[in-house]
Structures are given as C-alpha cells and as structure tokens.
Structure 1
Amino acid sequence: MNMQAPVTKSANSKSPASETARHDAQPVAAKTGLAALWRPALVQAFVKLDPRQLHRAPVMLVVELTAILTTVLCLIPDPAVPTSVAVQIAVWLWFTVLFANFAEALAEGRGKARADSLKAGSEGLKARIQSANGGYEMVNAATLRKGDVVRVEAGELIPGDGEVIEGIAAVNEAAITGESAPVIRESGGDRSAVTGNTRLVSDWLLVRISANPGESTLDRMIALVEGAKRQKTPNEVALDILLIGLTLIFLLVVVTLQPFAHFAGGNLPLVFLVALLVTLIPTTIGGLLSAIGIAGMDRLVRLNVIAKSGRAVEAAGDVHVLLLDKTGTITFGNRRCAAVYAAPGVTPKELSEGTLLASLADDTAEGKSIVEYLRGLHPMTEPAPSQLTAVPFTAETRLSGVDFEGRVYRKGAVDSLLKFLGRDRNDLPPVLAREIDKIAKTGGTPLLVCGDGKLLGAIHLKDVVKPGIRERFEELRKLGIRTVMVTGDNPLTAAAIAAEAGVDDVLAEATPEKKLERIRQEQNDGRLVAMCGDGANDAPALAQADVGMAMNDGTQAAREAANMVDLDSDPTKLLDVVQIGKELLVTRGALTTFSIANDVAKYFAILPALFASIYPQLGVLNVMHLASPQSAILSAIVFNALIIVVLIPLALRGVRVQAASAAHLLRRNLLVYGLGGIVVPFVGIKAIDLLLTALHLV
C-alpha cells in the first residue's frame, strides 16, 4: 500500500501569469538599464556641486574646495608651474567631484524610476470614509489619518494600509508585490492586514486605516528608493569618521611641507601641494560611499522587501543566527498523503473506501491530497455530496469526517481518534503502532481512520522539504551563520525534518515565549539574530530580533513589530536579505581597502616629483620612471578621477559574496582589492604618463 505522493507546487511558486506580472512590476531602471538614466544623473552631478548637498560626503567637499582653490591659482602666474598644467589639474579635480556625484545620482536614479511609477498609481486616489452619522463620504485618500474607517468596493483601490474589521474579499496585490494571483483578506486572524494601492477584485471590505500620511508601505517604499529619507547607518557613520580623521591628518601633513621645504632651501608650488592632498586622502571610497549605500537599499527594494531603516540591512549582513519557521520556509507547508497502512484484518479496498469517505468533505489541502491519492489507488463510485453529512474539524475534537447511510467515518490525530473509539495507545495493533512511530520518526504526521466504530488503518501525511534548501543552509554555514528551525511539531518529528533539511538546531513545540527566550539567549551570548514571522504571536520575537522580517499578508501587529516587511510574503526571502546585507558590507569593505591601497602608488608618483629639486636623492623613489614632476602629478590626479568612473558599476552591482568563512573572505579581499589596489595604480599612472607625454600636454 506504500506509494510516494506526488510533490505539489509550492504555495510560493509562480505561475507564468504571475511571472509576467512580476516582470511588469520590476523597476523601470531594470528594464531600460543605465542608458536611460545617465542623462538625468549627469544633470544631478552638477546640481550636487552645491556645498549644502556635499556636506554629507566630507571627503568630496574637501576635493571641491581644493578644486575651487586650484581654479583661483590658475589665474595667478607661477613660474614653477606652467599655466596649462595648473588648468589641467583644476579640470581633473572638478571631474573627480563630478564623477562621485554622478555615481550617487545614478544610484538614486535607479530607484526614482520605480518611485515615479508608484506615485503615478497613487495620485488622485479617493476614499469612501465613514462619517459621524454612520454614512460614507468621498474624500482625498491623502487626507486619511490613522483610525479612519473606509469602505472599499470591488474594483476599487484600497486607499491606505489598514486592518480589515468587517467583510471578506479577494485582493489583487500585483501593484505592490508583482504577484497576479489574488489573495483573500478577512477580518480577524492572520489575514486581516491590507496594503494601500492594492485592488479589491470581489465583494467589499471595511478597513481601519493603520498609518498616517507618509508612513504607509507605499510611502516607505518611495522614500527608500528615492533615498530622500535614507539615514546613514552606524557603519557608514563610523567610516565617515575614519575618512574625516584621515583627511585632517593628511591636511596637517601637507600644511607642514611648505615650511619644511623653506627650511631645506626650496619651494613647493601651492598647486602641487593641493594635488598632493587630494591624492593622499581616500577619495575613491569617499566618492562612492553614498552610492554603495543607496544601491544596497535599491537591491533590497527590487527584492520587494521594505526596510524601515538602513541599520536593519546592515544587521542582516552581520547576523550569526537565523530562526526560520518550518512550515512555508523549510517545507512547502501543504502536507500531502504519502501512504496509507491497513490495520490487521482490514482489506486494502475497505481501508481505501473508508478513508476516502472520511475525507470527501474535508476541503483542506491535506484532505484533498488524501482524496487525490486514494482515487488513483482504488477508484470507486463516490456518493453525491448531498448524501453526506459533513463533520468539520474542530480544535477540541481534532477529528473530521462524514456520516453516510447511518455509518460513521472519521479521521484525525492518533490520540483523538482512539479516544473517539474508547481506546488508548495500548490497544493499537503492534503492526500499526510500529508504522505510526516510523511515520513520526521520518518527520511525517500520522492520522488514524475508522469506519462505523472499526479501526481501519493509518494515513501518512508528509510535509515535503523544499528542494535546494539544504544547499542554501550549507552556504550559510560556510558564511558562519547558524540556522534554527522553529516548529510547533513534537521533538521527534521536528528532529526528522531538521535532519532532512540540514539545519543546525531545532526549537520544537515552539510558543511565543520560547521564541522570545531563545532570541534573548542568543543575543546575551553576543550574537545577532534574524527571524521572520506573520502572526500576532510572532510580534514579540520580531521586535526582539536584530532583524525581524514580517510577511505582508500577516497581521498588523507583526508588521509593526518587524523592521522589514516582505511584500511577497515569502519566508525564504530572509535568506536573500542576509545575502544582500553581506554584499553591502563586503562591497563597502572591498572598495575601502582598494581606495586606501591605491593611495600607496600615488605617493610614489607625487612625493619624488615634489622633492626632486630639493632632494635629488629622492629620485630613487621614482620607481615608475615618470617623465617629469608635472607629468607625475597630473597623471596621479587623472588616475584619481578616472578610477571612480571605473568602479561605479561595481559599487552599484555590489561584490558577490561567496559561501566561505569570514577569514577566507578577508584573505580574498586583501588579495584582490588590497594587492590589486596597489598594482592597478602603478599600471594606470604609468600609462597616463606615457599618454600625456605623447600628446605634449605637459
């Protein structure tokens, strides 16, 4: 009687229609590419020259000030510096600032394209608000406040985020999630939260608005992709402090060089000192830092996840422990009938008929899978629905079934059905008891079925582990992240599923208190914790976790407690969020390493050139054999500007994170971006020097 049940499509899998809708819902920038964005980004690069905008990028503000100073010096003749060289230095200093502004504007533009399309769908939206006399009046949706009650009819847009307080209806959330299949929303339970700008496709709903203007999911998405309200994260602030510190140190160094030169009987042109300052300070990371942060948030938005703060994204990159629900995340969630086992003295046909009758009125996914399985196993003439008296499942009885022609057919949990028959575990036939234990040990759920007071056999329901999930956990393990499966199953069943899925630990028979206790325990041990959830019972744990991701179709309590909301309501998305967080941190670290490392080569280009006339012995440091002091300085300045342009695609795309330990990633970054940051400038500056000399520009 053993037969493997067919694996059904996941609830999260996408139909061709939904894939089309998802493609249509992607940001405009994703469709048109960067080609359509460079013109407005170029305009913004000049707009951002306003010092009031550059104050957020202190290194670039210093470069702009030096560009202004150099431009002024071009008007003051200096016999030591040809005017043409001074003009070229000034021009390339301006280009350095413009290229950095262009990178930031390009990152912002990718998000603004989507923001514009989102705004277009919300402009002029009307709402039917409940008035004091119990009637309804039409108002502008932008005037709605938290607590207002609105009525939404079929075909209308829901005017704002809220909680369904009356009614049940199908809602199309494609405008927000890209998923074309409508979802059911109703008052009470875990499916009562609705999102603004989604469309009602049937019936009506009475919705209590849960967000003031500017605080809705749509508003947060627009603010994120525009970067208008993106606050600097702690890591960005720390890096800014480091860059400001280095800039001040090198400013003091440069200021003291002129007195030192006078003491040695020489003179250093002010234009050259300005050029030295720009090449000493970490201009590469200073110019790309903002673009890296904006691009990281944009990748998160493209994933259809809304983060309430940049801190949450960075925390995702640093997490040590992931708490993942079993159902819907590790497994498909819809248990399927995998086999049926007959009790001693019961024929296969008798078992099949009794089990089929007990399941015909069960409209759950499990009940339907039992009917589907048995129809293929033993076809029989089924009674009409009108001949059956359905007995629905209840939490008290934990049984369901039908009454048919005076006979009683029931199926349910082992202990509940035995109690229904007036028996206990000791009364189970040994053969059937062994099968039930085997089902539980393999991670399945055993049910018993009876007909007219006779025990017929057992049903094996199996929650199928998602394909590829074990490999994903292995990748996380290599990154030093431990996974914990959270489930309400008994420890035996939970252990079997955990072994099959490859998780590191299990929290069985989980309650809200147990989840909260586990998170606090991990945090007390110095670990950052991430978890996802959708119910009101998950809210305390979501609020406690360093990264709490709520499902968009979950309760309002869960969405408010979490610091991220997944618009697709796909629990496995948490794994992708962790990946994006790590990419953001690694990209920032890699480009910081490269920026500081490439300054080393620029020292060898400019320092010998500056002091060649004062200390001819320093000529030995001219290891690149650059043509002249003017050529060396100008080559370093040109390289300093162009390298920002070369690295813009990497800053926007992000450095891919391989499944490896932190030590391995550090060694790789030092080798690629540290050593590369030293070698590339030597090659680049020498090539520019040869070109400048060949073109007689110096």
Structure 2
Amino acid sequence: MSSLVRHRRWAVPTLAGALILASFATARLGAPTAADVLMVAAAVVAGAGIVRNAVRALLARVIGIDLLVSVAAIGAVVIGEHWEAAAVTSLFAVGHALEDATLTRTRSALAELVAVAPQVAVVLRDGEQVEVPAGAVGLGETVLVKAGASVPVDGEVLAGSGALDESSITGESVAVEKVAGDRVFAGTVSRGGLLQVRATGVGAETTLARIIRRVEEAQDAKAPTQAFMDRFSRWYTPAILVLAVVAGAVTGQVELALTLLVIGCPGALVISIPVAVVAGIGRGARDGVLIKGGEHLETAARVDVVALDKTGTLTRGRPRLTDVVVLADRADRAEVLTWAARAEAASEHPLARPVLEAAAAEGIDPGALPDDVVTVPGRGVVAHLGGRRVVVGTLALLDAPDDGAAAHVERLAAAGRTPMVVAVDGRVLGVLAVADEVRADAAHAVRRLHAAGVRTVMLTGDAERVAAAVAAQVGVDDVRAGLLPEDKLDAVRELQRAGHVVAMVGDGVNDAPALATADVGVAMGAAGTAVAIETADVALMADHLERLPHGLRLAARTVRVMRQNIAIALVTVGVLLAGVLLGGVTMAIGMLVHEASVLVVIANAMRLSRGDVPRVPQTPALTHPRDRDLRAEIVS
C-alpha cells in the first residue's frame, strides 16, 4: 500500500519530466511544432492538479499559492513561453511531492505506533488456545503472551513471568520484568517468558490506541504561529497579484508580471511551521513525551517555572520502613516490629503497608488479627490484642508523654521521615520511621531544569519538615508545604500573576485543579491512565521525571526551527523579488530557487528527528525461565 502511494506521488512529476525531455529531443530533430506540443502537454500534465486546487480554493473564497502558479503558467502558454510554463508547473509538482513525502516521513512516529498495533491474539477459551483478531478479545478474557509475541490488549498479569519491551508506549529501551499483578499494555513485545494476561482494555480503549489518537490530533492541530501565518497569507497573496498587475502595466512586460507571480509564491513559508510541528510532536511521541498540539508545544518552549508535586513526582509514592529504634529494656527489633505489624494488620492506616511489608521481609508473621482496631485520623491506630492495648502512631496517642521517644521522633522528623511510636499497655517499645523514597532521577532532572534557566517550586500537602528534607535532597528552589488542592491552585495563579509561564507536574487527583490552571499541565507516568492521556497538555508516558526537561528542550528546539524556517522563506522571497525587478531572474530560475528553499526548510525541520533520548539507569531485565509448569498447565 505504501509503495502504491509513493508511485502515485511521483507519477505526475515523472510523466511531466518525460514529456519535457521528449520535447527537447524532438526540437533537436527539427520538429519545433511537435516540440511545442510536447512542452505544452508537460505543462498540462503537471499543472492540471494545480489549476484544480486553485479553483477549489477560489470557490471557498481563498486566494492561495496554486492560483499564483496557475495564472503564471497559463499566461506563459498564451504568450508562447512554453518552456517556462512546463518548468514552473513541473518544479511545483516536484516540490509538492517532496513536501508530501517529507510530511509522511515526519509522521513516522505515528506510523511506527500503528505498525506495532497487534493484529491477532491467542485467547484461552474452554482450556483451548484460540487465535482471534485482537479487536475480538472480550474484556476479562485470558490472553496468552509467548516469547516474541506482541501483547494484544491492556491487562493485568495473572500468572507467569516475562520481560516486555515497552518502548512503543514509554520510550524506554530496556525491557521491563513482569510478574503476576503487574500491568501490561497493548503493542509491547515479549522478549522472553510466558504470561497469562486478563484483558482490561481492548480495541480502541487500549493505551496504544489512545496514544495514536492523541498524536494524530496533535500533529493536525495548528500552532499559534501557524495560525498567524495563515492570516498573513490572506493579504500577502492578493498583494503579490496586485504587484504583478501594476508591474506589468507600468513596464508593459507581461512576462515580468507572470514571473513576479511565480517568484512571490510563499511555498516555503506555508510549509515552514507545519513540518516543524509535525516533526517535533512525532519525535516527542517516540521519546515517550506526548504533546497535545502546536499551541502547547509553543507554550512549553516559554516555560520558566516548573511546579512539582512531591508524592509520586519527586518521590516514588510508595513509602517504606527506614528505621526501627528500640527504646525499651529487654526488647529487640523483632519485638517492636512484631507488635507494630499485629496492630496494623487489620487497620486502614495509610502507613500500614510499609510496616507489614517490612515485617514480611524479615520473616515476621503478625499472627491472629486484633480484637478491634481504631484508626485515629492524623495520629495513628489503637488496637487491642488478647487484652493488650497497642498504640502505633504519634506521641499524642500515648497515655503519658515519653521524653526519650520524643527526642527520637524529633530527630527522625527533621530527617524528612514520618515517625511512629510503638507502645504496649502504655510502655514505649520503640519508634518506627517511614519515608517515601526520592526518585533516582529527580535531582538530575532538577539540575537540568536549572541549567535551562527554569526555576523549580515544590507544591505538596506533606509536612514542612518532610518537604524541606526532600527539597534539599533534589535541589528545588522553593518549597510550599501543607497545601490543600485549592492552595496548590492559588500558588500556580500567584506565579502566573508574577509574570511566569508555569508548568505543573503531578500524578494525583489532588493535583487536577493546579494542572488545569497551569500554562502547561504535565501528567507524570501517564501510561495506562486514560484521563491523563486524553486531557493533559503534556503526558510523560514513562514514570521518569528526566523526561520533563527533555520535553521542554524539545519544545524549545522546535520553536527555534519554526523561526529559522520563517526567516529562510521570507529572505528567499525577498531576494527573488528584488532579482526579478532589477533583472536577471527568470521564471524558471526563480521557481528552481523557490523549490530549493522549500527543501532547505524541510531539511531544517528534519533535524528535530535527531538527538539522543535521556535514559534513566535501570537494572536490565533478567533472562526468564520458560515457565515450564505454566506451559505444561496451558498445553494440557
């Protein structure tokens, strides 16, 4: 299919070129009339589509480039300048084919995404492996993903293990290890192992399908600069027509007027913006940075302040136990952790999970569930176990203050950790501390933002001391802690009133108002998050903050290319017009230079496709066993 499209694209320029060569050969053989007929035929073949487009534009009350070329070519035929007519229309046809080919190439990211979309799926139905079209898989069905196969659906791993190449979704080149409970995305490729996946998203509802839709819409959306150029062309094209008529009337040279029409074609100007926008957005898509459209791309290039949520953005959003301080005589680490785990086993306390995970990692079994558990919001939990009263939480939950525990609580809090006192029947056994791990790439990402002249601000609902400790670790410029969602919104508005262009980065529902108000809302780790992909101005598909400075840098590069292209196009037109008026530039020469400027603009935009993608250091996925037990179970 693509080969057929390419052939059609070049059919007209090829046929016109053959007719021109035949005309020259016929003239050398002494048949001038036949040579003229062939040259006119070349002009008709190359110019028919141009005239057709000009008529359609006029019917829509638009005076465009095609009209200028059509008038010039028809006029050249009328005054007997057959070669000029054929040269102008053929060069224009070649330029159009090149533009079409280049835009197709710049959309390669979209083509790559479409190409990785799986066509078939192996579904387990009644114990049998059934191959069906990927779109025919039902929600909740179990899909089998073998080594080397593409994952046909979004889903959750039910059994097995394997390494998946998720570069089509997140831009990451390193395969990711998947085990039971992990999420997988359609279009990713198994590099080893065997997985049973329960389908949670199929067909048009997969993450890959959403990304394809987003890239299509973004590449077609006009940037503000492009909209301005459209308005500019509305008066520029009629102005060239008037100039040509006036020049022809004053000098009496029809050929001069026709040449001015051809030279004044702003072809390079028209393509200068869209080719850069398409290339920039396409490159971002390949790198795992989805940009909603040209408007947001231009805004991202002007960002000078980045507001960052803490939990899930600067940190991993998964607290872990960092400290176990033993305070009671004849108590040990295992005893403190055991009582804490037993109290937390049936609680809804937000810090219960890291305590239970740490206990499990150390081989501690919490045993029977508590008789009752009371969660005290903002303080901790109180549990009763076999007549014993167990407290896990703040000092305020204790029956009597404990100065020894208070000193450790103060020290741990100052270090940016959340302390929890563990007491049994009023006797303090020890203090636990939980902290959210800072992302490995957070400090480097912040340094890169600073190097680009971008100021960073942390907006978080966490406590002041915890926020300050994280801020010191990653190097953000300003910290605003203890904020509610509306406070984050007010902070963003305050920065905007101070004249800043603000990008807000977050991953939670509580960030939504600030994300919507910021000049650029950036969703963190958006893979598989339908709302983020559809609504965010910029979506970082991988869960890596390093992609943020990369995306802003890409936006700035794209805007620079747009400005360079505009300058190239305007200078070329200006020089050619001066050359025509001063003499020495013919219609064919002018068209040749004009098409050369189009090629320069295209080549300049294609530079956006080059450059390295930042890679976050990762542990390479392990080579997986072939899951013999699982395979045997499936085969049987």
TM-score (norm 2): 0.67
Q: How many residues are paired up?
A: 543
Return the alpha-carbon distance in structure 1 between the equivalents of residues 514 and 528 of structure 2. Answer: 14
Counterpart of 1:422, as a letter, is D
Alignment partner of 2:312: what SS?
coil
Alignment of 1:48-67 (within 5 A): 62-67=64-69
Return the alpha-carbon distance in structure 2 between the equivalents of residues 477 and 393 of structure 1. Answer: 48
- CA spacing shift, 1:112–1:273, aligned 2, 3 Å: farther
The answer for the alignment partner of 1:298 in structure 2 is 282
Counterpart of 2:142, as a letter, is E
1:152 aligns with 2:141: yes
Structure 1 residues 172-181 or 65-74, which shifts more?
A: 172-181
Return the alpha-carbon distance in structure 1 between the equivalents of residues 339 and 467 of structure 2. Answer: 27
Counterpart of 1:291, as a letter, is V
The answer for the alignment partner of 1:683 in structure 2 is none
Q: Does the CA contact (< 8 Å) of 1:170 and 1:185 recur in 2?
A: no
Return the alpha-carbon distance in structure 1 between the equivalents of residues 609 and 139 of structure 2. Answer: 46
The answer for the alignment partner of 2:399 in structure 1 is 422
Alignment of 1:403-414 (within 5 A): 412-414=392-394
The answer for the alignment partner of 1:486 in structure 2 is 459
Q: 1:530 aligns with which of 478, 482, 503?
A: 503
The answer for the alignment partner of 1:446 in structure 2 is 419
Counterpart of 2:565, as a letter, is L
- CA spacing shift, 1:573–1:323, aligned 2, 3 Å: same
Alignment partner of 2:311: what SS?
coil
Counterpart of 1:234, as a letter, is P
Q: 1:510 aligns with which of 483, 507, 514?
A: 483
Q: Does the CA contact (< 8 Å) of 2:73 and 2:86 recur in 1?
A: yes
The answer for the alignment partner of 2:617 in structure 1 is none
1:329 aligns with 2:313: yes
- CA spacing shift, 1:520–1:125, aligned 2, 3 Å: farther
Return the alpha-carbon distance in structure 2 between the equivalents of residues 47 and 542 of structure 1. Answer: 50
Structure 1 residues 96-105 or 473-482, which shifts more?
A: 473-482
Return the alpha-carbon distance in structure 1 between the equivalents of residues 116 and 67 of structure 2. Answer: 38
The answer for the alignment partner of 1:589 in structure 2 is 563
Counterpart of 1:582, as a letter, is A
Q: Does the CA contact (< 8 Å) of 2:223 and 2:294 recur in 1?
A: yes
Return the alpha-carbon distance in structure 2 between the equivalents of residues 124 and 496 of structure 1. Answer: 49
The answer for the alignment partner of 2:103 in structure 1 is 104
Alignment partner of 1:455: what SS?
strand
Q: Deviations over 1:512-567 (max 9, x none)?
A: 33233334444556655433444444444444444334454677666665455554
Alignment of 1:208-223 (within 5 A): 217-223=207-213
Q: 1:232 aligns with which of 200, 215, 222?
A: 222
Return the alpha-carbon distance in structure 2 between the equivalents of residues 440 and 281 of structure 1. Answer: 68
Return the alpha-carbon distance in structure 2 between the equivalents of residues 571 and 122 of structure 1. Answer: 33
Q: Does the CA contact (< 8 Å) of 1:108 and 1:227 recur in 2?
A: no
Alignment of 1:197-596 (within 5 A): 217-225=207-215, 230-262=220-252, 267=253, 269-270=254-255, 272-306=256-290, 309-335=293-319, 341=325, 343=327, 350-358=331-339, 366-367=354-355, 385=365, 388-389=367-368, 396=376, 412-415=392-395, 419=397, 421-424=398-401, 427-429=402-404, 433-450=406-423, 453-467=426-440, 469-477=442-450, 479=452, 481-523=454-496, 527-550=500-523, 551-552=525-526, 562-563=536-537, 565-570=539-544, 573-596=547-570
Q: Does the CA contact (< 8 Å) of 2:308 and 2:459 recur in 1?
A: yes
Return the alpha-carbon distance in structure 2 between the equivalents of residues 562 and 39 of structure 1. Answer: 37
Alignment of 1:113-124 (within 5 A): 113-118=112-117, 121=118
Q: Does the CA contact (< 8 Å) of 1:357 and 1:401 recur in 2?
A: no
Q: Does the CA contact (< 8 Å) of 1:234 and 1:311 recur in 2?
A: yes
Unaligned runs of 5+ in 1: 1-35, 129-138, 376-381, 610-628, 658-698
Q: Does the CA contact (< 8 Å) of 1:321 and 1:482 recur in 2?
A: yes
Alpha-carbon shift at residue 490 of structure 1 (Å): 0.8
Alpha-carbon shift at residue 445 of structure 1 (Å): 2.7
Q: Does the CA contact (< 8 Å) of 2:423 and 2:430 recur in 1?
A: yes
Unaligned runs of 5+ in 2: 14-45, 126-131, 346-351, 612-636
- CA spacing shift, 1:46–1:332, aligned 2, 3 Å: farther
Q: Deviations over 1:649-694 (max 9, x none)?
A: 431333999xxxxxxxxxxxxxxxxxxxxxxxxxxxxxxxxxxxxx
Return the alpha-carbon distance in structure 1 between the equivalents of residues 590 and 338 of structure 2. Answer: 83
Alignment of 1:36-115 (within 5 A): 43-44=8-9, 62-73=64-75, 75-76=77-78, 87-115=86-114
Return the alpha-carbon distance in structure 2 between the equivalents of residues 37 and 530 of structure 1. Answer: 40
- CA spacing shift, 1:301–1:383, aligned 2, 3 Å: closer
Q: Does the CA contact (< 8 Å) of 1:324 and 1:485 recur in 2?
A: yes
Counterpart of 2:521, as a letter, is G
Return the alpha-carbon distance in structure 1 between the equivalents of residues 73 and 564 of structure 2. Answer: 33
Q: Does the CA contact (< 8 Å) of 1:323 and 1:483 recur in 2?
A: yes
- CA spacing shift, 1:288–1:408, aligned 2, 3 Å: farther
Q: Does the CA contact (< 8 Å) of 2:121 and 2:133 recur in 1?
A: yes
Alpha-carbon shift at residue 588 of structure 1 (Å): 1.4
Q: Deviations over 1:335-379 (max 9, x none)?
A: 455555554x758xx45343454577789774488669xx9xxxx
- CA spacing shift, 1:655–1:47, aligned 2, 3 Å: same
Counterpart of 1:645, as a letter, is L
- CA spacing shift, 1:181–1:649, aligned 2, 3 Å: farther
Return the alpha-carbon distance in structure 2 between the equivalents of residues 566 and 170 of structure 1. Answer: 29
Q: 1:652 aligns with which of 580, 602, 606?
A: 606
- CA spacing shift, 1:355–1:594, aligned 2, 3 Å: farther
Alignment partner of 1:607: what SS?
helix
Q: Does the CA contact (< 8 Å) of 1:321 and 1:481 recur in 2?
A: yes
Return the alpha-carbon distance in structure 2 between the equivalents of residues 87 and 555 of structure 1. Answer: 55
Alignment partner of 1:485: what SS?
strand
Alpha-carbon shift at residue 256 of structure 1 (Å): 1.4
- CA spacing shift, 1:591–1:236, aligned 2, 3 Å: same
Q: Does the CA contact (< 8 Å) of 1:92 and 1:638 recur in 2?
A: yes
Identity across matched positions, percent: 24
Q: Does the CA contact (< 8 Å) of 1:313 and 1:577 recur in 2?
A: no
The answer for the alignment partner of 1:640 in structure 2 is 594
Alignment partner of 1:322: what SS?
strand
Alpha-carbon shift at residue 591 of structure 1 (Å): 1.5
Q: Deviations over 1:304-360 (max 9, x none)?
A: 3555554444433344443322123223444455555554x758xx45343454577
Alignment partner of 1:509: what SS?
coil
